[in-house]
Amino acid sequence: MLKKIPAPLSGYLVAAVSFGAALAFAYAVPAPKLPGYVYGFLYVIAVFIAAWRGFGPGVLASLATAILLPFLFVPHFTLAKVELGRSAFLIVCSILVSGIAHNRRRAEAALREVNEKLEASVRERTCELSAAIASLQREARERLAAEQALRQSEARLHESSERLTNVLESINDNFIAVDRSWR
> If DSSP states are collapsed to H, E and C, what string results for 52-103?
HHCHHHHHHHHHHHHHHHHHHHCCCCCHHHCCHHHHHHHHHHHHHHHHHHHH
CA distance 44 to 97: 11
CA distance 90 to 63: 9
pTM for the structure as a whole? 0.49
> What pLDDT is stored for residue 102 in this prediction?
81
What residues does each domain of the chain span? 7-120
Q: What is the pLDDT along the chain (183 residues), one digit of tens a residue?
A: 445 666 666 666 766 676 666 666 655 655 555 555 555 666 666 666 766 666 677 777 777 777 777 777 777 777 777 778 877 877 777 778 777 878 888 899 999 999 999 999 999 999 999 999 999 999 999 999 999 999 999 999 989 888 888 776 776 556 566 777 766
> What pLDDT is stored for residue 99 in this prediction?
79
> What pLDDT is stored for residue 2 in this prediction?
47
> What pLDDT is stored for residue 44 in this prediction?
66
CA distance 113 to 105: 12
